[in-house]
Every structure is written in C-alpha cells, then in structure tokens.
C-alpha cells in the first residue's frame, strides 16, 4: 500500500504580492496583478505588460552575499520555501534532514542572468563573464540552493517541462513520499522570465496579449475577446508530508494529494491536442481512485489563449460528460498571469487553499464568454462552496500534461 501524502504548508510569491496573505486575499477579491512593465522600458515591444512581483525584498530571505551571486528565480525559490516552511511550522533538524527532499521546477531557469551576461560579453569581452554565470542559469540550481539553505538532504531534483514543470515537481515529490524515499518534500516551481528577449519571443509567436492600454483586463481566460496570455513571475512551493509524519507533529493539513496523471500529446511543439489532456485527467482520477462525479472544482490551465481555452473546455466535457456542467472551473491566471514553469506550483497551492477554506477562486475579466466555453467558470467573483475533491491542470509546450488530484482532509 502506498503511503498517504498531505499538504501542510504553502509559500507564495506572485504578482499579487510577496507572501501567502496578500496573494490569497488578492485571489479571493478577484484582483489583477497585471500592470505595465517596470523592470525595464518596454516601449519598443508589442507587449508592454506583465505580472511582475514589485514588493519582493530578497534581503528578507537571503544574505547579501548570496543575493549578489544568485539569479532572481533562485531568490524566489528560497524565499517561497522559507514562507512555506514557516507556514507548515516545520524546522528541518539534523534528525529529519535525510528524509526531507527537494524537487523544484522551472521552465527556463536563469534567463535574466543569461541575458545580462550576453550583453556584458558583447560589450566588454569574455573576461568579464562571471564565474557564477553557469550556476545561475541552470534550472536545477533553485532546488540546489533550497537544499543547501534549509539542510534538506533527501532526494534533490528539478523538472524542466515548460508550463507543466512545477506540477510535475509536485507529482514526483508525492510519489517519492508514497514509496518511502522521503517523509517530507519541498516541491513546486519558480520563474523570473520578464526580460525583453522573452517578451519579444512570445510576441513573435503571437502567444501573448498586446492589450497594453488595459493591463488589468488583459488576462481573460474563456472570454471571447482574449488575445493571448500575460507573462508573470514568482514562485509557488508546497510542503508535502507523509500523513503519519504530519499527524505525529500535530501539523495543520490543507489537503491530501490523492492522484497525479501525466500524458504526452505526441502532436505538436506548441499547439494543444484534445487526446493528451483527456488521458491526463482520466489518469489522475484513476490514480486517485476517484469517479468523475466526485470532482467539485478544477483549477484550469486556462491560459487566455484562443486554442488552449477551447481545447481544455472540450477535454473537460470529454472526461466528465454531463457532470462537466455541474462542477466549477476557474483560471487563476486571470489574476496572476501565466508564471510559466511556476504556474503549476501556485495553482496547486490555490487548489489546496480552496479545499481548506471552502472558497473557489474566480475567473476575472470573463465578460463575453467564448461560445464553445459554456461551463461554470466562476465569473468575476469568488464563491463559497464545500469542495471535497479538486483537480489542478498544467499543460506545457512539447505536449506535456499533468493533472494533480486533491481531496479535502477530514481526519
């Protein structure tokens, strides 16, 4: 029998604020974290808006020497982990350290360092390239720093599967606990992609919104007038524990992870297929010993792109049949933007918090629903509801899909 896995802590750094309180309050209030880019002058770009983290002070989480040596995506991971461990009331002592692991995903790693280093080398020559360049750009260094900072000596790994990265990390972390490789896992994702070349690349793909005059209305999943996703940054970390380990120390439990489904589209590098998400959700239900009728809420991938929103809606209908019209579906990307490799981490946290508090996050900016998007997307206002089972979907470029299944923990 596999061991049971519960969520005991969350750590959130999002465009809605640094920390769990401002982020969750913003989600429940239906507040947008999208605004004009402030990190640099975006005036030459077609897209000039993003979900930036504006209140982040790394010195509250790391010493100044390490801040100077580390990329922002690493700093976000360390900070979110500290928040999550404090939220869980967990201290990683020497006696439990070997049984505490770390899996943190990132879609693209240290892009800010990469971009700035290329400019330095072009302008000042190769001798000016920092010795910390390589450690700063490789995606697994977020997990590496977290392991070192918090003395986590268990499994240490990274997932780099585009927009599914942190959902993969959480799924694999849960499996590590289930099979006894760890008692505690620090899992989730981090991303700091807001630099000119990233924006320009997504513009070339015609993937991101250019609604520069109305930033707060730009991310509008399932709405007929959507014109692409809005890029965001931040981190979402969960503390996962084996149930008896958590109960023994009297931990507060947000939710139980009961299933994880994964699939590959084998179809296209960027366009979604219907088959992949359908098999992914069905796998999560089967893995969690759940019937479709058991599910009350789905935190959708919901990117606000024309293809994804229709495709995900079709997939939900295929999996759930008539029950699709009785469950709630919402996209929190309408408020945070799309955090790429960190998206699944913050959205898994939102799903666990929704179960714990009995509050379904809304899909804001849903004013004129796409005709094919005819489910209950919890438009514009959060809803109180006694949720028992919820799914969180994450789909990534390359045709990689993850669905996490959560259950309310009733003891």
CB 4 within 8 A of CB 180: no
Q: Residue 357: pLDDT above 90?
A: yes
Structure tokens at 74: 């690493």
pLDDT of residue 1: 76
5-248 and 260-407 agree in CATH topology: yes
Residue 411 has pLDDT above 90, yes or no: no
* In the chain, domain spans: 5-248, 260-407
Pairing of strands 297-299, 389-396: parallel
What pLDDT is attached to residue 151? 98
The mean predicted confidence, pLDDT, of the chain is: 97
Residue 163 is a catalytic residue? yes
Helices (H), 253-363: 275-287, 306-320, 333-336, 343-357
Q: How many other CB atoms sit within 10 Å of the CB of residue 245? A: 19
Sign of the C-alpha dihedral, residues 197, 203, 205, 209? positive
Q: What is the pLDDT of residues 120-165, one digit of tens each?
A: 999 999 999 999 999 999 999 999 999 999 999 999 999 999 999 9
CATH of domain 5-248: 3.40.47.10
For the CA atoms of 325, 228, 18, 60, what is the dihedral angle to 10 degrees? 140
Catalytic residue among 163, 260, 280, 373: 163
Go through 10-25 and write b for each residue having 16 or more CB atoms within 10 A of its CB, e for each that does not.
bbbbbbbbbbbebbbe
pLDDT in tens, 63-111: 999 999 999 999 999 999 999 999 999 999 999 999 999 999 999 999 9
pTM attached to this predicted model: 0.97
Q: Kindly report the CATH number that applies to the domain delimited by 260-407.
A: 3.40.47.10
Which of 296, 314, 364 has the alpha carbon at shortest distance from 51?
A: 364
The question of whether 280 is a catalytic residue gets the answer no
**Any catalytic annotation for residue 338?**
yes
Residue of 28, 158, 280, 338 marked catalytic: 338
What is the per-residue pLDDT for 203?
Answer: 98
């Amino acid at each position: 029998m596999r061991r049971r896995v519960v969520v005991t802590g969350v750590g959130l750094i999002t465009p809605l604020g640094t920390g769990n309180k401002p982020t969750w309050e913003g989600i429940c209030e239906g507040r947008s974290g999208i605004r004009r880019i402030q990190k640099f002058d975006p005036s030459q770009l077609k897209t000039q808006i993003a979900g930036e983290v504006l209140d982040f002070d790394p010195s509250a989480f790391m010493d100044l020497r390490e801040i100077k040596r580390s990329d922002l995506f690493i700093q976000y991971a360390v900070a979110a982990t500290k928040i999550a461990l404090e939220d869980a009331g967990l201290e990683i002592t020497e006696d439990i350290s070997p049984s505490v692991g770390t899996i943190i995903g990132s879609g693209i790693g240290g892009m800010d360092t990469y971009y700035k280093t290329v400019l330095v080398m072009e302008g000042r020559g190769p001798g000016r390239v920092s010795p910390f360049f390589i450690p700063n750009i490789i995606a697994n260094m977020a997990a590496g720093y977290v392991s070192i900072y918090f003395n986590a000596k268990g499994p240490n790994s990274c997932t780099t599967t585009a927009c599914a990265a942190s959902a993969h990390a959480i799924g694999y972390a849960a499996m590590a606990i289930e099979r006894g490789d760890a008692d505690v896992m620090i899992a989730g994702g981090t991303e700091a992609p807001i630099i000119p070349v990233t924006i320009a690349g997504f513009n070339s793909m015609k993937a991101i919104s250019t609604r520069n005059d109305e930033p707060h209305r730009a991310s509008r999943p399932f709405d007929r007038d959507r014109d692409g996703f809005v890029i965001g940054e931040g981190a979402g970390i969960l503390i996962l524990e084996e149930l008896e380990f958590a109960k023994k120390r009297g931990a507060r439990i947000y939710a139980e992870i009961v299933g994880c489904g994964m699939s590959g589209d084998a179809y296209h590098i960027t366009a979604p297929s219907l088959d992949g998400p359908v098999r992914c959700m069905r796998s999560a239900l089967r893995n969690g010993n759940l019937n479709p009728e058991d599910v009350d809420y789905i935190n959708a991938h919901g990117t606000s792109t024309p293809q994804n929103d229709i495709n995900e809606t079709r997939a939900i209908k295929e999996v759930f049949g008539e029950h699709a019209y009785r469950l709630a579906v919402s996209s929190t990307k309408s408020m945070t933007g799309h955090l790429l490799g960190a998206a699944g981490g913050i959205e898994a946290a939102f799903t666990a918090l929704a179960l714990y508090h009995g509050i379904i996050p809304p899909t804001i900016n849903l004013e004129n629903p796409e005709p094919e998007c005819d489910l209950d997307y919890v438009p514009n206002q959060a809803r109180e509801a006694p949720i028992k089972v919820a799914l969180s979907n994450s789909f990534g470029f390359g045709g990689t899909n993850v669905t996490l299944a959560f259950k309310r923990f009733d003891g």
